[in-house]
């Protein structure tokens, strides 16, 4: 197979096939506990298996010793460094993946809500208290949404590519340019302190504050615009997973879907060998932060070749080039063609008036909610900054249901889940997720202990089932297992 063909995602008929994509969403759990509980966990937490603070205690109680759950909807729910996280099932639909993220918020909230009575009883017994409730309040936030730079929570995108495509040579230039500038529509908004005491400022992106390098493998520290982590979660001979850690937790499903769509289209161009190097910003990290603090979307950044571009112009240039070259080669799926036009349309709408894009862009909607709250009559002496930070936090709250979840329930967003999709979930996608879920269900119903990960399921005293192709929907070994059970 020529190298050009080895890089492409093509079916047996030579037509482009859908790319497997997914989203990982990290959350933070805030616990308000009684002083007695706090003291107990601080004193004994170091030796106690559930950690030295109330949040860690709650998280490990909810997930148990396993800390890793592959669910019947194909998702993975787990603790990552004592933070709850949800990874969506392998999807080929950008909209489907985005709606699974929204459903994941609801499931996570219910998991904690249902566990809270048992947590309180255990704490009462451990600490030796009666009457009072140990955990007075439990809040789950779907991102950081604070100006505290000691910690960050993100939303990572995963894209399936061929092994022949390399991050260093093929993906790096295009995605540095894209990730620097896409925050004009993918940013979730950041409340910052104003120049004077009590004032508030506003930026487009939280994540821009945390990215430190252009290129690297770290996801916990020294986070990069382009991540080099090479963990295929599939047969490494054929597949690569591009793991993008530059994103933030977009609550708007339209934005989440567009993140995946734009990334997939850009990868099509990379697979074709399209050159984007003439659009590379000078000092990309600095450029991203400059873009983030320009809510007018009109200030220019410098490119390496000396040209000046606004972030919207840069997004338009990269979108037009990627879409044109991929279409010219007949290498876009119907879904990508649709979302490509939506990508360009949103850029055009932001150029005309960002305020008209609140149903499609998180930072615009969040800013409008903050401004509305600031214009209300005040009964206390809260500063503009305090009020703005409270609204920003409420926007991302999933327990209790915050402003974004309530907007979903009202059908506000341009891509919006139904109540049934939020409460009951979506059908399994036609991907490897079907195989994994079928195996897990069969083993569980047969009372057989098992272990699972993305690409394998092993039942006790049973043959290990390997699902190396994320697109596969049939497996002979699975059929034999199901027949034997």
Q: Where are the domains of the chain?
A: 3-9+164-400, 432-484
* C-alpha distance from residue 186 to each of 47, 202, 260, 340 (Å): 42, 15, 11, 15
Query: For the ranges 63-72, 163-172, 199-208, 422-431, which has the lowest average pLDDT?
Result: 63-72
At 198, the pLDDT band (50, 70, 90 cuts) reads confident
Q: Is the pLDDT of residue 360 over 90?
A: yes
pTM score over 0.85: yes
**Token pair of 424, please?**
């009951």
Higher confidence at residue 404 or residue 37? Answer: 404
Q: pLDDT tier at 448 (50, 70, 90 boundaries)? A: very high
Region of poorest pLDDT, from 34-38, 71-75, 217-221, 409-413: 217-221
Over the stretch 45-73, which tens digit does the pLDDT of each residue have?
544 444 457 888 888 889 886 678 999 99
Rounded Cα–Cα distance for residues 197 and 195 (Å): 7
Provide the pLDDT for residue 303. 98
> Closest by alpha carbon to 98, among 207, 252, 248?
252
Q: What pLDDT is recorded for position 52? A: 58
If we measure between CA atoms, which residue out of 183, 157, 327, 352 comes closest to residue 242?
157
Q: Is the pLDDT of residue 149 over 50?
A: no
Average pLDDT, the chain: 90
CA angle 190, 191, 195 (to 5 degrees): 125
Q: How far apart (Å, rounded) are the C-alpha atoms in residues 389 and 14?
A: 52
d(CA 142, CA 237): 35
| Mean pLDDT across 282-295 | 96
Tokens 């569980």 sit at which residue? 444
Is the pLDDT at 270 greater than 50? The verdict is yes
Residue 350 has pLDDT above 80, yes or no: yes
Residue of 436, 428, 442 lying closest to 481 (CA atoms): 442
Helix H or strand E segment including 153: none
Give the whole-number percent of the chain exceeding pLDDT 70.
Answer: 94
Residue with tokens 């800390």: 67
Identify the three-state secondary structure at position 223.
coil
Nearest-angstrom CA–CA distance, 458 and 299: 55
Residue 429 token pair: 């996608």
pLDDT of residue 218: 64
């Amino acid at each position: 197979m020529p190298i050009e063909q080895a890089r492409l995602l093509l079916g047996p008929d030579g037509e482009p096939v859908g790319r497997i994509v997914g989203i990982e969403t990290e959350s933070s759990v805030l616990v308000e506990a009684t002083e007695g509980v706090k003291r107990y966990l601080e004193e004994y937490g170091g030796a106690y298996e559930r950690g030295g603070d109330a949040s860690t205690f709650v998280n490990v109680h909810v997930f148990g010793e396993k800390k890793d759950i592959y669910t019947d909807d194909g998702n993975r729910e787990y603790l990552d460094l004592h933070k709850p996280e949800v990874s969506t099932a392998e999807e080929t639909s950008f909209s489907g993946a985005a709606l699974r993220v929204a459903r994941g918020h609801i499931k996570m909230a219910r998991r904690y809500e249902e566990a809270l009575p048992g947590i309180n009883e255990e704490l009462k017994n451990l600490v030796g208290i009666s009457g009072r409730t140990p955990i007075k309040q439990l809040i789950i936030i779907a991102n950081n949404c604070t100006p505290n730079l000691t910690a960050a929570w993100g939303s990572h995108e995963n894209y399936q590519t061929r092994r022949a495509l390399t991050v260093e040579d093929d993906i790096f230039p295009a995605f540095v340019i894209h990730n620097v500038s896409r925050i004009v529509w993918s940013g979730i908004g950041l409340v910052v302190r104003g120049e004077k005491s009590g004032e508030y400022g506003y930026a487009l992106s939280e994540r821009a504050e945390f990215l430190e390098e252009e290129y690297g493998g770290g996801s916990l520290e020294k986070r990069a615009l382009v991540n080099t982590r090479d963990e295929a979660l599939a047969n490494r001979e054929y597949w690569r997973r591009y793991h993008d850690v530059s994103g933030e937790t977009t609550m708007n499903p339209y934005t989440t879907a567009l993140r995946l769509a734009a990334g997939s289209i850009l990868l099509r161009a990379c697979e074709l060998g399209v050159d984007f190097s003439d659009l590379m910003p000078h000092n990309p990290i600095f450029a991203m932060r400059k873009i983030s603090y320009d809510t007018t979307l009109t200030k220019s950044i410098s490119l390496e070749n000396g040209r000046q571009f606004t972030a919207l112009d840069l997004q338009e240039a990269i979108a037009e080039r990627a879409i044109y070259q991929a279409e010219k080669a007949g290498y876009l799926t119907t879904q990508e063609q649709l979302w490509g036009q939506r990508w360009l349309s949103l850029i055009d709408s932001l150029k005309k008036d960002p305020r008209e894009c609140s149903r499609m862009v998180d930072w615009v909607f969040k800013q409008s909610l903050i401004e509305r709250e600031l214009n209300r009559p005040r009964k206390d002496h809260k500063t503009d900054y305090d009020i703005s930070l409270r609204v920003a936090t409420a926007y991302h709250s999933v327990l209790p249901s915050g402003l974004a979840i309530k907007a979903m329930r009202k059908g506000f967003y341009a891509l919006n889940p139904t109540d049934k999709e939020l409460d009951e979930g979506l059908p399994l996608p036609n991907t490897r997720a079907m195989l994994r879920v079928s195996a897990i269900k069969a083993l569980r119903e047969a009372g057989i202990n098992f272990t699972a990960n993305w690409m394998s399921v092993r039942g006790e005293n049973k043959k290990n089932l390997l699902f190396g192709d994320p697109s596969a929907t049939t497996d002979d070994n699975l059929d034999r297992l199901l027949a034997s059970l």
